[in-house]
Structure 1
Amino acid sequence: PIDPAYVTVTNVAGSEITSSITDIDGRFGFLLPKDVYYFTVGKSHYKFPSDTLRGKDQDELYSNLYFGGPLAHDGNQIIKLNIPLDPVGFDWNEFAKSKIDFFKLYSRKETLRRRVFALVFYTGFVFSAGKFLIAPSYFDLSILAFYLAILIYHHFWSARHKIVTVKRAGSPLSFSIIRLFLPGIDQAIKTVTTDALGRLYVLVRPGTYYLTVEEKISDGSYQKVLQTPPMELPKGVLDRDILV
Protein backbone atom coordinates (compact mmCIF):
# COMPACT_ATOMS: atom_id res chain seq x y z
CA PRO A 1 0.00 0.00 0.00
CA ILE A 2 1.12 3.54 -0.82
CA ASP A 3 0.48 6.49 1.45
CA PRO A 4 -0.18 9.29 1.16
CA ALA A 5 -1.40 9.37 -2.44
CA TYR A 6 -3.79 11.97 -3.87
CA VAL A 7 -6.88 10.48 -5.54
CA THR A 8 -9.02 12.71 -7.76
CA VAL A 9 -12.46 11.97 -9.20
CA THR A 10 -13.58 13.70 -12.41
CA ASN A 11 -16.68 13.40 -14.59
CA VAL A 12 -16.90 12.85 -18.34
CA ALA A 13 -16.51 16.60 -18.95
CA GLY A 14 -13.20 16.55 -17.07
CA SER A 15 -14.48 18.57 -14.11
CA GLU A 16 -13.14 17.60 -10.71
CA ILE A 17 -15.91 16.24 -8.48
CA THR A 18 -13.98 15.42 -5.34
CA SER A 19 -10.61 14.23 -4.09
CA SER A 20 -9.07 12.41 -1.17
CA ILE A 21 -5.74 11.42 0.35
CA THR A 22 -5.16 7.74 1.07
CA ASP A 23 -4.68 6.59 4.64
CA ILE A 24 -1.69 4.71 6.02
CA ASP A 25 -2.97 1.49 4.42
CA GLY A 26 -3.45 3.11 1.00
CA ARG A 27 -7.25 3.16 1.32
CA PHE A 28 -9.70 5.78 0.10
CA GLY A 29 -13.45 6.11 -0.39
CA PHE A 30 -16.07 8.42 -1.89
CA LEU A 31 -19.86 8.86 -1.78
CA LEU A 32 -20.87 9.75 -5.34
CA PRO A 33 -24.20 10.29 -7.13
CA LYS A 34 -25.14 8.41 -10.28
CA ASP A 35 -22.79 9.27 -13.15
CA VAL A 36 -19.73 8.12 -15.07
CA TYR A 37 -16.43 8.88 -13.37
CA TYR A 38 -12.69 8.76 -13.91
CA PHE A 39 -10.12 8.30 -11.15
CA THR A 40 -6.56 9.60 -11.22
CA VAL A 41 -3.83 9.16 -8.63
CA GLY A 42 -0.91 11.44 -7.88
CA LYS A 43 2.13 10.42 -5.87
CA SER A 44 5.73 11.64 -5.99
CA HIS A 45 8.06 9.18 -7.72
CA TYR A 46 5.14 7.06 -8.95
CA LYS A 47 3.34 6.95 -12.30
CA PHE A 48 -0.36 6.47 -12.98
CA PRO A 49 -1.67 4.55 -14.82
CA SER A 50 0.61 1.56 -14.44
CA ASP A 51 2.28 0.32 -17.60
CA THR A 52 3.72 -2.74 -15.87
CA LEU A 53 0.33 -4.28 -15.10
CA ARG A 54 -1.71 -2.76 -17.93
CA GLY A 55 -4.12 -5.26 -19.42
CA LYS A 56 -4.26 -7.39 -16.28
CA ASP A 57 -7.26 -7.72 -14.00
CA GLN A 58 -5.22 -8.83 -11.00
CA ASP A 59 -1.70 -9.26 -9.72
CA GLU A 60 -0.25 -11.56 -7.05
CA LEU A 61 -2.17 -9.86 -4.23
CA TYR A 62 -4.97 -7.67 -5.58
CA SER A 63 -7.86 -7.99 -8.03
CA ASN A 64 -10.11 -5.40 -9.76
CA LEU A 65 -7.13 -3.40 -10.99
CA TYR A 66 -7.96 0.05 -12.37
CA PHE A 67 -6.03 1.91 -15.06
CA GLY A 68 -7.98 5.13 -15.59
CA GLY A 69 -10.97 4.03 -17.66
CA PRO A 70 -14.58 5.22 -17.23
CA LEU A 71 -16.59 3.82 -14.32
CA ALA A 72 -20.38 3.88 -14.43
CA HIS A 73 -21.84 4.33 -10.95
CA ASP A 74 -25.57 3.96 -10.20
CA GLY A 75 -25.39 5.94 -6.96
CA ASN A 76 -25.98 2.94 -4.69
CA GLN A 77 -23.44 0.27 -5.52
CA ILE A 78 -20.09 -0.14 -3.81
CA ILE A 79 -17.23 -0.21 -6.30
CA LYS A 80 -14.00 -1.71 -5.03
CA LEU A 81 -10.88 -0.68 -6.90
CA ASN A 82 -7.21 -1.44 -6.52
CA ILE A 83 -5.08 1.10 -8.36
CA PRO A 84 -1.52 0.04 -9.24
CA LEU A 85 1.23 2.64 -9.65
CA ASP A 86 4.64 2.23 -11.26
CA PRO A 87 7.67 3.49 -9.32
CA VAL A 88 9.66 6.07 -11.27
CA GLY A 89 13.44 6.02 -11.05
CA PHE A 90 13.57 2.82 -9.01
CA ASP A 91 16.22 0.38 -10.22
CA TRP A 92 15.30 -3.04 -8.85
CA ASN A 93 18.58 -4.62 -9.95
CA GLU A 94 20.64 -2.00 -8.13
CA PHE A 95 18.45 -2.39 -5.05
CA ALA A 96 18.91 -6.16 -5.13
CA LYS A 97 22.68 -5.66 -5.20
CA SER A 98 22.82 -3.03 -2.47
CA LYS A 99 20.35 -4.67 -0.08
CA ILE A 100 22.84 -7.42 0.79
CA ASP A 101 25.46 -5.04 2.20
CA PHE A 102 22.76 -2.96 3.87
CA PHE A 103 21.24 -6.03 5.50
CA LYS A 104 24.61 -7.18 6.80
CA LEU A 105 25.33 -3.72 8.24
CA TYR A 106 21.85 -3.48 9.76
CA SER A 107 22.11 -6.99 11.21
CA ARG A 108 25.46 -6.21 12.86
CA LYS A 109 24.12 -3.00 14.39
CA GLU A 110 20.92 -4.67 15.54
CA THR A 111 22.83 -7.59 17.07
CA LEU A 112 25.22 -5.24 18.86
CA ARG A 113 22.34 -3.14 20.17
CA ARG A 114 20.53 -6.19 21.53
CA ARG A 115 23.66 -7.54 23.19
CA VAL A 116 24.44 -4.22 24.87
CA PHE A 117 20.85 -3.90 26.08
CA ALA A 118 20.84 -7.49 27.38
CA LEU A 119 24.17 -6.94 29.17
CA VAL A 120 22.93 -3.78 30.90
CA PHE A 121 19.57 -5.33 31.78
CA TYR A 122 20.87 -8.60 33.22
CA THR A 123 23.70 -6.85 35.06
CA GLY A 124 21.13 -4.64 36.76
CA PHE A 125 18.92 -7.65 37.48
CA VAL A 126 21.76 -9.65 39.08
CA PHE A 127 22.89 -6.62 41.10
CA SER A 128 19.33 -5.98 42.35
CA ALA A 129 18.80 -9.64 43.25
CA GLY A 130 22.13 -9.80 45.10
CA LYS A 131 21.46 -6.58 47.00
CA PHE A 132 18.02 -7.83 48.02
CA LEU A 133 19.44 -11.12 49.30
CA ILE A 134 22.20 -9.38 51.28
CA ALA A 135 20.17 -6.52 52.72
CA PRO A 136 16.44 -6.91 52.00
CA SER A 137 14.29 -3.79 51.84
CA TYR A 138 10.96 -2.80 50.33
CA PHE A 139 12.74 -0.56 47.85
CA ASP A 140 15.00 -3.40 46.66
CA LEU A 141 11.98 -5.69 46.47
CA SER A 142 10.15 -3.20 44.26
CA ILE A 143 13.16 -2.89 41.94
CA LEU A 144 13.48 -6.69 41.72
CA ALA A 145 9.74 -7.02 41.05
CA PHE A 146 10.07 -4.44 38.27
CA TYR A 147 12.82 -6.47 36.60
CA LEU A 148 10.76 -9.67 36.91
CA ALA A 149 7.72 -7.93 35.42
CA ILE A 150 9.80 -6.86 32.41
CA LEU A 151 11.11 -10.42 31.95
CA ILE A 152 7.61 -11.91 32.12
CA TYR A 153 6.14 -9.30 29.78
CA HIS A 154 8.97 -9.74 27.29
CA HIS A 155 8.52 -13.51 27.33
CA PHE A 156 4.80 -13.40 26.58
CA TRP A 157 5.05 -10.42 24.21
CA SER A 158 7.74 -12.17 22.17
CA ALA A 159 5.57 -15.26 21.92
CA ARG A 160 2.80 -13.21 20.27
CA HIS A 161 4.88 -10.69 18.32
CA LYS A 162 7.63 -12.69 16.68
CA ILE A 163 9.15 -11.01 13.64
CA VAL A 164 10.80 -13.54 11.34
CA THR A 165 12.98 -13.12 8.28
CA VAL A 166 12.96 -14.87 4.91
CA LYS A 167 16.56 -15.55 3.87
CA ARG A 168 18.66 -17.25 1.25
CA ALA A 169 22.31 -17.87 2.16
CA GLY A 170 22.05 -15.24 4.89
CA SER A 171 20.60 -12.55 2.61
CA PRO A 172 16.97 -11.36 2.88
CA LEU A 173 14.36 -11.95 0.19
CA SER A 174 12.96 -8.43 0.00
CA PHE A 175 9.32 -7.91 -1.00
CA SER A 176 8.67 -11.64 -1.38
CA ILE A 177 5.14 -13.04 -1.03
CA ILE A 178 4.39 -15.57 1.71
CA ARG A 179 1.18 -17.59 1.55
CA LEU A 180 -0.10 -19.87 4.32
CA PHE A 181 -2.24 -22.85 3.32
CA LEU A 182 -4.40 -25.38 5.13
CA PRO A 183 -3.14 -28.89 4.28
CA GLY A 184 -5.64 -31.17 2.62
CA ILE A 185 -7.78 -28.48 1.02
CA ASP A 186 -4.80 -26.42 -0.22
CA GLN A 187 -6.64 -23.20 0.55
CA ALA A 188 -4.56 -20.06 1.09
CA ILE A 189 -5.83 -18.45 4.28
CA LYS A 190 -3.29 -15.66 4.65
CA THR A 191 -0.96 -13.75 2.34
CA VAL A 192 1.73 -11.35 3.52
CA THR A 193 4.70 -9.62 1.91
CA THR A 194 8.12 -9.12 3.42
CA ASP A 195 9.62 -5.66 3.81
CA ALA A 196 12.91 -4.41 2.34
CA LEU A 197 14.81 -6.43 4.96
CA GLY A 198 12.89 -9.64 4.28
CA ARG A 199 10.94 -9.41 7.54
CA LEU A 200 7.33 -10.32 8.22
CA TYR A 201 4.91 -11.01 11.04
CA VAL A 202 2.30 -13.76 10.81
CA LEU A 203 -0.57 -14.27 13.25
CA VAL A 204 -3.22 -16.91 12.47
CA ARG A 205 -5.49 -19.29 14.36
CA PRO A 206 -3.52 -22.08 16.06
CA GLY A 207 -3.30 -25.10 13.79
CA THR A 208 -1.33 -26.88 11.08
CA TYR A 209 -0.22 -25.00 7.97
CA TYR A 210 2.28 -25.09 5.17
CA LEU A 211 3.61 -22.03 3.43
CA THR A 212 5.02 -21.03 0.09
CA VAL A 213 7.54 -18.32 -0.75
CA GLU A 214 7.39 -16.39 -4.01
CA GLU A 215 10.50 -14.37 -4.77
CA LYS A 216 10.38 -11.04 -6.60
CA ILE A 217 12.76 -11.27 -9.55
CA SER A 218 14.46 -8.58 -11.60
CA ASP A 219 11.64 -8.04 -14.12
CA GLY A 220 9.14 -7.35 -11.32
CA SER A 221 7.33 -10.69 -11.55
CA TYR A 222 7.33 -13.47 -8.94
CA GLN A 223 8.43 -17.07 -8.96
CA LYS A 224 7.76 -19.76 -6.38
CA VAL A 225 11.00 -20.79 -4.66
CA LEU A 226 9.84 -22.75 -1.61
CA GLN A 227 7.01 -24.87 -0.27
CA THR A 228 7.42 -26.13 3.28
CA PRO A 229 6.04 -29.35 4.74
CA PRO A 230 3.09 -28.94 7.13
CA MET A 231 4.09 -27.28 10.39
CA GLU A 232 2.35 -26.89 13.72
CA LEU A 233 1.69 -23.36 14.97
CA PRO A 234 0.28 -24.07 18.45
CA LYS A 235 0.18 -20.37 19.34
CA GLY A 236 -0.82 -19.18 15.89
CA VAL A 237 2.48 -17.35 15.46
CA LEU A 238 5.17 -18.12 12.90
CA ASP A 239 8.21 -18.06 15.19
CA ARG A 240 11.09 -19.27 13.04
CA ASP A 241 13.03 -17.74 10.17
CA ILE A 242 12.29 -19.11 6.70
CA LEU A 243 15.35 -20.39 4.86
CA VAL A 244 15.05 -20.76 1.10
Structure 2
Amino acid sequence: DAGEYVLGSEKDLVATARVQNAGDDAFEAKLVVQVPRGAAFTKFLLLANTAVDVTPICSSNTKGDLEEVVCDMGNPLPALTNVSLELVFQPKHDQVNDTALEFHVRATSTNPEADLNTYDNHMALALPATVKTLIDIKGISWPDGPFDYNASLYGMGLVGEEGSITHEREIGPQVTHVYDVTNRGPSDLPSALIFLLWPTRTLTDDPLLYLLDAPDVAQPAVCHSVPDVNYLGLEVCLQKKGYA
Protein backbone atom coordinates (compact mmCIF):
# COMPACT_ATOMS: atom_id res chain seq x y z
CA ASP A 1 0.00 0.00 0.00
CA ALA A 2 3.03 2.30 -0.31
CA GLY A 3 5.85 3.03 -2.72
CA GLU A 4 8.48 3.02 0.02
CA TYR A 5 9.05 2.28 3.68
CA VAL A 6 10.41 5.20 5.70
CA LEU A 7 12.75 3.95 8.40
CA GLY A 8 11.34 4.80 11.80
CA SER A 9 7.76 5.01 10.58
CA GLU A 10 5.27 3.36 12.93
CA LYS A 11 2.72 2.81 10.18
CA ASP A 12 1.84 -0.83 9.46
CA LEU A 13 2.77 -2.37 6.13
CA VAL A 14 -0.25 -3.79 4.32
CA ALA A 15 0.04 -6.22 1.39
CA THR A 16 -2.81 -7.62 -0.69
CA ALA A 17 -2.47 -11.12 -2.17
CA ARG A 18 -4.89 -12.69 -4.63
CA VAL A 19 -4.70 -16.43 -5.26
CA GLN A 20 -6.59 -17.88 -8.22
CA ASN A 21 -7.06 -21.54 -9.08
CA ALA A 22 -7.49 -21.68 -12.84
CA GLY A 23 -7.46 -25.50 -13.04
CA ASP A 24 -8.91 -28.46 -11.19
CA ASP A 25 -9.56 -28.58 -7.45
CA ALA A 26 -6.24 -27.82 -5.72
CA PHE A 27 -5.60 -29.94 -2.64
CA GLU A 28 -3.73 -28.56 0.38
CA ALA A 29 -3.53 -25.17 -1.32
CA LYS A 30 -1.30 -22.75 0.54
CA LEU A 31 -0.03 -19.22 0.28
CA VAL A 32 3.48 -18.86 1.75
CA VAL A 33 5.06 -15.46 2.46
CA GLN A 34 8.68 -15.08 3.49
CA VAL A 35 8.76 -12.02 5.74
CA PRO A 36 11.85 -9.81 5.47
CA ARG A 37 14.01 -8.93 8.40
CA GLY A 38 12.63 -5.66 9.70
CA ALA A 39 8.95 -6.64 9.65
CA ALA A 40 6.70 -8.95 11.69
CA PHE A 41 3.36 -10.47 10.70
CA THR A 42 0.47 -9.31 12.89
CA LYS A 43 -2.83 -10.28 11.27
CA PHE A 44 -4.73 -10.99 8.07
CA LEU A 45 -8.11 -9.95 6.69
CA LEU A 46 -10.26 -11.76 4.13
CA LEU A 47 -11.10 -9.32 1.33
CA ALA A 48 -12.84 -11.58 -1.19
CA ASN A 49 -13.63 -15.28 -1.55
CA THR A 50 -15.48 -17.01 -4.38
CA ALA A 51 -14.78 -20.48 -2.96
CA VAL A 52 -17.80 -21.81 -1.10
CA ASP A 53 -17.09 -23.42 2.29
CA VAL A 54 -13.42 -22.37 2.23
CA THR A 55 -12.15 -20.30 5.18
CA PRO A 56 -8.49 -19.27 4.81
CA ILE A 57 -6.37 -19.35 7.96
CA CYS A 58 -2.93 -17.70 8.27
CA SER A 59 -0.28 -18.38 10.89
CA SER A 60 3.33 -17.38 11.40
CA ASN A 61 6.32 -19.68 11.83
CA THR A 62 9.75 -18.50 12.92
CA LYS A 63 12.91 -20.38 12.03
CA GLY A 64 15.98 -18.74 13.47
CA ASP A 65 15.78 -15.09 12.45
CA LEU A 66 13.46 -15.83 9.50
CA GLU A 67 9.69 -15.54 9.69
CA GLU A 68 7.32 -17.26 7.29
CA VAL A 69 3.57 -16.80 7.03
CA VAL A 70 1.60 -19.83 5.83
CA CYS A 71 -2.04 -19.38 4.80
CA ASP A 72 -4.16 -22.50 4.30
CA MET A 73 -6.31 -21.61 1.29
CA GLY A 74 -8.49 -24.72 1.27
CA ASN A 75 -8.33 -28.47 0.96
CA PRO A 76 -9.29 -28.36 -1.75
CA LEU A 77 -9.42 -24.87 -3.19
CA PRO A 78 -12.18 -25.44 -5.76
CA ALA A 79 -11.52 -25.05 -9.46
CA LEU A 80 -12.03 -21.61 -11.03
CA THR A 81 -12.17 -19.77 -7.71
CA ASN A 82 -10.06 -17.06 -6.15
CA VAL A 83 -9.32 -15.73 -2.68
CA SER A 84 -7.98 -12.28 -1.79
CA LEU A 85 -6.24 -11.61 1.53
CA GLU A 86 -4.87 -8.53 3.19
CA LEU A 87 -1.71 -9.27 5.19
CA VAL A 88 -0.64 -6.77 7.83
CA PHE A 89 2.98 -6.46 8.98
CA GLN A 90 4.43 -4.35 11.77
CA PRO A 91 7.75 -2.68 10.93
CA LYS A 92 10.80 -3.21 13.14
CA HIS A 93 12.92 -0.35 11.87
CA ASP A 94 15.83 -1.09 14.20
CA GLN A 95 16.36 -4.40 12.35
CA VAL A 96 16.27 -3.09 8.79
CA ASN A 97 19.83 -3.29 7.51
CA ASP A 98 19.23 -3.27 3.76
CA THR A 99 17.99 -0.74 1.25
CA ALA A 100 14.70 -2.60 0.72
CA LEU A 101 12.20 -4.89 2.42
CA GLU A 102 11.88 -7.95 0.18
CA PHE A 103 8.77 -10.10 0.44
CA HIS A 104 8.82 -13.47 -1.33
CA VAL A 105 5.40 -15.01 -1.99
CA ARG A 106 4.49 -18.40 -3.48
CA ALA A 107 1.35 -20.46 -3.94
CA THR A 108 1.53 -24.25 -3.62
CA SER A 109 -0.64 -27.34 -3.66
CA THR A 110 -0.11 -31.09 -3.77
CA ASN A 111 -1.49 -31.24 -7.31
CA PRO A 112 1.00 -31.80 -10.12
CA GLU A 113 1.41 -28.74 -12.34
CA ALA A 114 3.17 -28.41 -15.66
CA ASP A 115 6.42 -26.47 -15.45
CA LEU A 116 5.30 -23.94 -18.03
CA ASN A 117 2.36 -23.02 -15.78
CA THR A 118 4.37 -22.42 -12.58
CA TYR A 119 5.82 -19.03 -13.57
CA ASP A 120 2.94 -17.24 -11.84
CA ASN A 121 3.07 -19.35 -8.68
CA HIS A 122 5.60 -17.05 -7.07
CA MET A 123 6.61 -13.42 -6.99
CA ALA A 124 8.93 -11.05 -5.14
CA LEU A 125 8.06 -7.59 -3.89
CA ALA A 126 10.86 -5.18 -2.98
CA LEU A 127 9.74 -2.20 -0.93
CA PRO A 128 12.48 0.47 -0.93
CA ALA A 129 13.61 1.52 2.55
CA THR A 130 14.47 5.19 2.80
CA VAL A 131 15.71 7.57 5.47
CA LYS A 132 13.80 10.78 6.12
CA THR A 133 14.70 13.19 8.88
CA LEU A 134 13.85 16.70 9.94
CA ILE A 135 16.84 18.41 11.55
CA ASP A 136 16.40 21.54 13.64
CA ILE A 137 19.26 23.66 14.92
CA LYS A 138 18.76 26.54 17.30
CA GLY A 139 21.25 28.84 18.96
CA ILE A 140 21.40 31.42 21.68
CA SER A 141 24.06 33.92 22.63
CA TRP A 142 25.08 35.44 25.95
CA PRO A 143 24.80 38.38 25.93
CA ASP A 144 21.86 38.16 23.56
CA GLY A 145 21.99 41.74 22.33
CA PRO A 146 24.40 44.54 21.46
CA PHE A 147 27.09 45.33 24.00
CA ASP A 148 29.80 47.99 24.24
CA TYR A 149 33.46 47.28 23.68
CA ASN A 150 35.68 50.01 25.10
CA ALA A 151 38.98 49.58 23.29
CA SER A 152 40.81 51.74 25.80
CA LEU A 153 40.14 49.15 28.51
CA TYR A 154 41.51 46.17 26.58
CA GLY A 155 44.52 45.11 24.58
CA MET A 156 44.82 46.39 21.03
CA GLY A 157 45.93 44.69 17.83
CA LEU A 158 47.55 41.27 18.13
CA VAL A 159 46.94 40.91 21.82
CA GLY A 160 49.54 39.11 23.81
CA GLU A 161 52.27 39.10 21.18
CA GLU A 162 54.28 41.54 23.24
CA GLY A 163 53.65 39.49 26.36
CA SER A 164 51.77 42.36 27.97
CA ILE A 165 48.44 40.47 28.14
CA THR A 166 48.31 37.25 30.14
CA HIS A 167 44.67 36.90 31.28
CA GLU A 168 41.46 36.46 29.29
CA ARG A 169 39.78 39.33 31.15
CA GLU A 170 42.21 41.69 29.47
CA ILE A 171 40.87 40.87 25.99
CA GLY A 172 37.30 42.02 26.29
CA PRO A 173 33.80 41.01 27.38
CA GLN A 174 32.99 37.33 27.02
CA VAL A 175 30.54 36.01 24.42
CA THR A 176 29.10 32.51 24.75
CA HIS A 177 27.16 30.63 22.06
CA VAL A 178 25.00 27.56 22.76
CA TYR A 179 23.60 25.42 19.92
CA ASP A 180 20.89 22.77 20.18
CA VAL A 181 20.49 20.21 17.38
CA THR A 182 17.35 18.05 17.23
CA ASN A 183 16.38 15.21 14.88
CA ARG A 184 12.60 15.18 14.68
CA GLY A 185 12.64 11.97 12.65
CA PRO A 186 10.98 9.77 11.84
CA SER A 187 14.25 8.04 10.85
CA ASP A 188 17.38 7.70 12.90
CA LEU A 189 20.23 9.70 11.41
CA PRO A 190 23.15 7.34 10.74
CA SER A 191 25.66 10.19 10.90
CA ALA A 192 25.72 13.95 10.86
CA LEU A 193 28.29 16.71 10.67
CA ILE A 194 27.80 20.21 12.04
CA PHE A 195 30.09 23.00 10.89
CA LEU A 196 30.41 26.10 13.05
CA LEU A 197 32.17 29.09 11.54
CA TRP A 198 32.99 32.20 13.52
CA PRO A 199 34.90 35.42 12.73
CA THR A 200 38.12 34.74 14.58
CA ARG A 201 40.00 37.65 12.97
CA THR A 202 39.30 40.89 11.17
CA LEU A 203 40.26 41.55 7.55
CA THR A 204 43.42 43.19 8.87
CA ASP A 205 44.27 39.97 10.75
CA ASP A 206 43.54 41.38 14.20
CA PRO A 207 41.79 39.10 16.73
CA LEU A 208 38.01 39.54 16.71
CA LEU A 209 36.43 36.60 18.53
CA TYR A 210 39.23 34.86 20.40
CA LEU A 211 38.38 31.23 21.20
CA LEU A 212 39.25 30.59 24.84
CA ASP A 213 38.40 26.90 25.05
CA ALA A 214 37.39 23.99 22.82
CA PRO A 215 33.61 23.57 22.48
CA ASP A 216 31.81 21.35 24.99
CA VAL A 217 29.48 18.82 23.34
CA ALA A 218 26.99 16.34 24.76
CA GLN A 219 27.55 12.62 24.14
CA PRO A 220 27.59 10.84 21.76
CA ALA A 221 28.67 13.84 19.72
CA VAL A 222 32.38 14.43 19.27
CA CYS A 223 34.05 17.73 18.45
CA HIS A 224 37.00 17.34 16.13
CA SER A 225 40.19 19.34 16.50
CA VAL A 226 39.59 23.08 16.45
CA PRO A 227 42.40 25.43 15.39
CA ASP A 228 43.49 28.52 17.28
CA VAL A 229 42.17 27.53 20.69
CA ASN A 230 43.70 30.03 23.12
CA TYR A 231 46.77 30.23 20.89
CA LEU A 232 48.26 32.97 23.10
CA GLY A 233 48.12 30.73 26.18
CA LEU A 234 46.07 33.17 28.23
CA GLU A 235 44.93 32.34 31.72
CA VAL A 236 41.20 31.48 31.64
CA CYS A 237 38.72 31.72 34.51
CA LEU A 238 37.31 28.27 35.18
CA GLN A 239 33.80 29.69 35.57
CA LYS A 240 34.04 31.63 32.32
CA LYS A 241 34.71 29.73 29.14
CA GLY A 242 33.77 30.66 25.60
CA TYR A 243 34.65 33.50 23.27
CA ALA A 244 36.18 36.74 24.33
TM normalised by structure 1 equals 0.21
Q: Structure with the greater relative contact order (CA < 8 A, sep ≥ 6): 1 or 2?
A: 2
Instruction: Indicate the structure with greater strand content.
Output: 2
The structure whose Rg is larger is 2
Higher helix share: 1
